[in-house]
């Protein structure tokens, strides 16, 4: 239960070993490297951002190629594979593959080229289809679209934006003007619809200008481009052929890409390789270097320090200095805990990691965490399901992601606690046992008896129990505050911020319990004598006075100090609301049970018939799955809240920085030293 002690490490090595030492550190992955500026004329940092950009680009190319590959030849995945961590790869194997990295990157580039080709072909198909749609209305026309004139006549081929009638249009265009004879014009309407009519018009060459005028009046327009000199139906056929050719091209490209699927692992390795190099260059960028030496400053977990030191000094000519980090150093935090408390690290971390002088609260938090989680979910059936499913994932997926593993373990232990509380409160899929026995076997006497009591029939009892849990939880927090203060040698703080509050709040609670009104309301059969009442009152008042006097002790001015102290004493209302907040244990616990009962009852409405049984099974499955989902989420969120707000509020500030070692931040493989 603790933070891993850290040592500060300084490595000074020769520039010729730089690459190897960095690679060694990266593979070990136990040193967090900090940038630092020695402010020295000999040591300069080096700008390697352009190389880094190149590596990033290469790793991007490989990633894109992988996603293209995924599109045309999807990798087979099982449901469980999303839990899996990156694969291990032996160093020797890695070295064997990595010499081919250039071929891999070429491969990635050719995959991307093929993808580009496919896209181009698809674009062309779209434009061909547009052209075909344009030609559609002209399909019965038997002249090429670019037909313009004969020796004596001029032809117009185009559209007008209305439904045209052949005779109307003909007479309109051939109408005589200023007493001349009618113009000889032949109009034929090829096709006509409400929005557009396709017309073909022939006139004498001498009349061209007049006709053009008249055509303009009726918004005649020529089709945009007609490059091919063949009749429309023929052109459509030709376009069809082109389309087929393009489709075949796309198909062959797709096949070519799919043929690369055997190289998927190589591409992954390639992507990882460049990510790793980029990572290395990021570190290199901040390293101070002189003409022939370089300097690394960082943190290493104390238990690894000596082994690491021996390894490096055994291989290279370096100077290594390992020392305790100074008081003011911002030491990174790494937590380590036993199997039961380990999952809670994620919870602690999502609040904040412990700060410099704080202890790791994971262990103490874990005890309350599982208890509260179980009380909120409080159904043995749900607990069994939750534990079994998480245990299945944990056993089945060998190579599970570390974060996922903690999460699964959290729910596994939470599930076990849920089974316990479910049995205590007599809830197994709600009242399923009783409902099934009553509906289908006519035995209303069979039911799961609670080992302790039934919350539905004695809610007040549960409420008092919840408050009791809350008081224990809060005072544990206060106790940790005391421990932390003593550990730091702040005895005054320990007394003022912890002991006085213990007296004030604890005495107050005991005093309340001596009042018959309170015990009656809470349904407690408890009669504390008047001596207890007097003692409790004295302790409370002493605590209260103490808090008023010391609450503002950082102020020098006495008047200010008392005012601040009075305000601090007002914080006792915070204790009240904190304790009341634990009523959510009751509310969420009851919610699970009641909703489960609703579904059981709904399912049993059709009685003991065969279709009644079917409906029961269906509603039972859907309803309980829904209820588990909602209530696991609720129990998780509200257990977190009780820890974060009520518990951590008493003693914990956090603010620690996470230990982030220089390591292989790869997506697919983890290179390991040969065994």
Partner 1 sequence: MENMGLLFALCGAALSAAMAGIGSAIGVGIAGRAASGVVTEDPNQFSKVLVLQLLPGTQGIYGLLIAFITLTQIGIMGGDSNVSLQEGLLYLVSCLPMAFGGLFSAVAQGKCSVSAIGLVAKKPDQFGKAMIFPAMVETYAILSLLISILSIFGVSGLGL
User: Which positions from 279 to 318 touch partner 1 by CB under 8 A, shown as an x/- string?
Assistant: ----------------------------------------
Q: Specify the stretch interacting with partner 1 by CB under 8 A; choose among 210-218, 247-255, 306-314, 576-584.
A: 576-584
**Which residues, numbered 96-135, are part of the site for partner 1 (CB under 8 A)?**
none
Q: How many binding residues for partner 1 (CB under 8 A)?
A: 31
28: contact with partner 1 by CB under 8 A: no
**Closest approach of partner 1 to the CB of residue 350, in Å:** 2
645: contact with partner 1 by CB under 8 A: yes
Identify the burial level of 260 via C-beta atoms within 10 angstroms of its C-beta, where 0-12 means exposed, 13-18 middle and 19 or more buried. buried
**Structure-token pair, residue 410:** 């959290």
Nearer to partner 1 by Cβ, of 74 and 161: the residue is 74
583: contact with partner 1 by CB under 8 A: yes
**Closest approach of partner 1 to the CB of residue 640, in Å:** 7
Please name the residues in contact with 332: beta carbons below 8 A apart, sequence gap of 6 or more.
Answer: 6, 32, 299, 656, 657, 658, 659, 660
**Which residues, numbered 436-475, are part of the site for partner 1 (CB under 8 A)?**
459-460, 463
**Using CA atoms, how far apart are residues 91 and 135, in angstroms rounded to an integer?**
64
Virtual torsion, Cα 193, 198, 200, 205, nearest 10 deg:
120
**Closest approach of partner 1 to the CB of residue 590, in Å:** 6
Q: How many residues does this entry show for the chain? A: 675
Q: Angle at the Cα of 392 (from 391 to 396), degrees rounded to 5?
A: 120
Count CB-CB contacts under 10 A for residue 293.
Answer: 18
**Closest approach of partner 1 to the CB of residue 581, in Å:** 7
First to last CA, the chain: 31
**Closest approach of partner 1 to the CB of residue 467, in Å:** 12
492: contact with partner 1 by CB under 8 A: no
Nearer to partner 1 by Cβ, of 432 and 496: the residue is 432
**Closest approach of partner 1 to the CB of residue 49, in Å:** 25
Q: Which of 281, 325, 329, 337 is nearest to 300 (CA)?
A: 325
Residue from 117, 132, 228, 601 touching partner 1 (CB under 8 A): that is 601
644: contact with partner 1 by CB under 8 A: yes
**Closest approach of partner 1 to the CB of residue 436, in Å:** 17
**Closest approach of partner 1 to the CB of residue 469, in Å:** 15
**Using CA atoms, how far apart are residues 364 and 324, in angstroms rounded to an integer?**
28
Nearer to partner 1 by Cβ, of 386 and 590: the residue is 590
Task: Please report the sign of the dihedral spanned by the C-alpha atoms of residue 648, residue 651, residue 655, residue 660.
Answer: negative
659: contact with partner 1 by CB under 8 A: no
**Closest approach of partner 1 to the CB of residue 584, in Å:** 5
By the 8 A CB rule, do 295 and 11 touch? yes
Q: Which helix (H) or strand (E) holds 96?
A: helix 91-98
Reduced to 3 states (helix: H, G, I; strand: E, B; else coil), residue 673 is: coil
12: contact with partner 1 by CB under 8 A: no
302: phi then psi, degrees, rounded to nearest 5: -55, -40
Nearer to partner 1 by Cβ, of 644 and 669: the residue is 644
Identify the burial level of 507 via C-beta atoms within 10 angstroms of its C-beta, where 0-12 means exposed, 13-18 middle and 19 or more buried. buried
User: Which positions from 350 to 369 touch partner 1 by CB under 8 A, shown as an x/- string?
Assistant: xx------------------
Q: Which of 270, 298, 271 is nearest to 283 (CA)?
A: 298
Buried b (16+ CB within 10 A) or exposed e, 353-379: bbeeebbbbbbbbbebbbbbbbbbbbb
**Structure-token pair, residue 298:** 């960082």
Residue from 588, 628, 635, 671 touching partner 1 (CB under 8 A): that is 588
**Closest approach of partner 1 to the CB of residue 369, in Å:** 14
- How many angstroms separate the most distant Cα atoms in the chain? 132
**Closest approach of partner 1 to the CB of residue 518, in Å:** 16
- The crossing angle, in degrees rounded to 10, of helices 610-641 and 583-603 is 170
**Closest approach of partner 1 to the CB of residue 587, in Å:** 5
**Closest approach of partner 1 to the CB of residue 629, in Å:** 9
**Using CA atoms, how far apart are residues 195 and 581, in angstroms rounded to an integer?**
70
Residue from 124, 641, 670, 672 touching partner 1 (CB under 8 A): that is 641
Nearer to partner 1 by Cβ, of 491 and 630: the residue is 630
**In terms of DSSP H, where are the helices of 136-231?**
166-174, 208-217
**Which residues, numbered 620-639, are part of the site for partner 1 (CB under 8 A)?**
630, 633-634, 637-638
597: contact with partner 1 by CB under 8 A: yes
Q: Specify the stretch interacting with partner 1 by CB under 8 A; choose among 283-291, 334-342, 421-429, 589-597.
A: 589-597
419: contact with partner 1 by CB under 8 A: no
**Structure-token pair, residue 443:** 């035995």
- The crossing angle, in degrees rounded to 10, of helices 362-377 and 402-424 is 50
Q: Specify the stretch interacting with partner 1 by CB under 8 A; choose among 128-136, 168-176, 490-498, 588-596.
A: 588-596
349: contact with partner 1 by CB under 8 A: yes
Residues in contact with partner 1 by the rule CB under 8 A: 346-347, 349-351, 459-460, 463, 580-581, 583-584, 586-588, 590-591, 594-595, 597-598, 601, 630, 633-634, 637-638, 640-641, 644-645
């Amino acid at each position: 239960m603790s933070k891993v002690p850290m040592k500060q490490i300084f490595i000074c090595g020769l520039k010729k070993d730089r690459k190897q030492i960095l690679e060694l550190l990266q593979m070990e992955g136990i040193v967090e490297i900090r940038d630092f500026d020695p402010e020295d004329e000999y040591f300069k940092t080096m700008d390697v951002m352009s190389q880094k950009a190149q590596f990033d680009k290469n790793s991007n190319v490989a990633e894109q190629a992988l996603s293209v590959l995924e599109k045309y030849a999807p990798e087979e995945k099982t449901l469980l594979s999303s839990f899996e961590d990156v694969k291990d790869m032996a160093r020797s194997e890695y070295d064997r593959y990595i010499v081919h990295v250039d071929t891999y990157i070429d491969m990635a580039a050719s995959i991307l080229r093929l993808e580009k080709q496919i896209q181009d072909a698809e674009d062309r198909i779209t434009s061909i289809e547009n052209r075909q749609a344009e030609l559609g209305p002209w399909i019965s026309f038997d002249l090429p679209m670019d037909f313009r004139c004969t020796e004596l006549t001029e032809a117009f081929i185009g559209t007008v934006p209305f439904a045209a009638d052949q005779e109307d249009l003909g007479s309109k265009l051939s109408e005589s003007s200023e007493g001349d004879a009618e113009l000889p014009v032949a109009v034929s309407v090829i096709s006509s619809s409400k929005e557009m009519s396709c017309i073909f018009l022939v006139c004498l060459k001498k009349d061209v200008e007049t006709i053009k005028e008249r055509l303009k009046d009726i918004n005649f327009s020529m089709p945009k481009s007609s490059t091919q000199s063949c009749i429309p139906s023929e052109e459509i056929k030709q376009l069809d052929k082109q389309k087929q050719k393009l489709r075949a091209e796309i198909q062959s490209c797709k096949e070519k890409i799919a043929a690369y699927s055997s190289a998927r692992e190589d591409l992954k390795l390639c992507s990882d390789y460049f990510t790793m190099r980029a990572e290395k260059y990021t570190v290199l960028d901040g390293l101070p270097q002189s003409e022939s030496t370089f300097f690394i400053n960082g943190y290493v977990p104390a238990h690894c320090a000596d082994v690491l030191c021996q390894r490096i000094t055994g291989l290279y000519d370096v100077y290594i200095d390992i020392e305790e980090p100074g008081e003011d150093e911002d030491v990174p935090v790494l937590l380590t805990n036993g199997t039961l408390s380990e999952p809670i690290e994620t919870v602690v971390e999502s609040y904040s990691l412990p700060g410099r002088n704080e202890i790791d609260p994971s262990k103490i938090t874990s005890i309350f965490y599982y208890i509260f989680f179980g009380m909120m979910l409080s159904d043995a059936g749900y607990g069994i399901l939750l534990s079994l499913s998480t245990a299945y994932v944990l056993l089945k997926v060998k190579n599970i992601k570390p974060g996922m593993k903690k999460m699964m373990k959290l729910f596994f232990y939470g599930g076990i606690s849920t089974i316990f509380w479910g049995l205590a409160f007599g809830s197994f899929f709600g009242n399923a046992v009783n409902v099934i026995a009553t509906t289908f076997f006519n035995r209303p006497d069979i039911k799961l008896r609670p080992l302790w009591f039934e919350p539905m029939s004695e809610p007040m009892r549960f409420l008092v129990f919840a408050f009791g849990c809350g008081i224990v939880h809060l005072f544990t927090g206060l106790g940790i505050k005391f421990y932390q203060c003593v550990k730091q040698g702040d005895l005054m703080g320990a007394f003022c911020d912890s002991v006085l509050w213990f007296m004030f709040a604890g005495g107050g609670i005991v005093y309340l319990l001596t009042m018959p009104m309170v015990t009656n309301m809470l349904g407690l059969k408890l009669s504390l004598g008047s001596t207890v009442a007097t003692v409790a009152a004295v302790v409370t008042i002493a605590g209260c006075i103490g808090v008023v006097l010391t609450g503002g002790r950082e102020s020098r001015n006495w008047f200010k100090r008392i005012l601040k102290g009075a305000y601090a004493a007002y914080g006792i209302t915070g204790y009240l609301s904190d304790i009341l907040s634990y009523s959510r244990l009751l509310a969420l616990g009851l919610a699970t049970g009641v909703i489960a009962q609703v579904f059981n009852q709904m399912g049993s409405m059709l009685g003991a018939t065969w279709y009644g049984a079917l409906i029961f099974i269906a509603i039972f499955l859907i309803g309980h799955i829904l209820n588990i989902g909602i209530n696991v989420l609720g129990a998780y969120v509200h257990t977190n809240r009780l820890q974060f707000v009520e518990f951590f509020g008493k003693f914990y500030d956090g603010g620690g920085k996470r230990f982030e070692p220089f390591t292989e931040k790869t997506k697919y493989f983890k290179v390991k030293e040969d065994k």
